[in-house]
Amino acid sequence: ANLIPQELLSVAPSLSGFVSRQGCLMISGFLQKQKREITAAFGQRGFGVQRVRHQKGWAAFVLKREGKK
């Protein structure tokens, strides 16, 4: 899906629920300056950033579920 960052943040709780215990989630389409906000939102749901990609001011993450969350 092509979501703006505000939509991505609002669906973070339900989206996180679809990822298995040790699963990964790839998200993209947010500006580099929004990385902290995105990282924090998914970090609260037990995800850590595994990879980061930048292109022309945009960013993408591969997130991996950490721990038991």
Per-residue model confidence as pLDDT tens for the chain (69 residues): 566 788 888 999 999 999 998 899 999 989 899 999 999 999 999 999 999 999 999 999 999 998 764
pLDDT at residue 69, as a whole number: 44
d(CA 66, CA 29): 23
b/e per residue, 7-44, with b = 16+ CB within 10 A?
A: ebbeebeebbeebeeeeebebeebeeebeeebbebbee
Under 8 Å between Cβ of 54 and 35: no
pLDDT at residue 62, as a whole number: 97
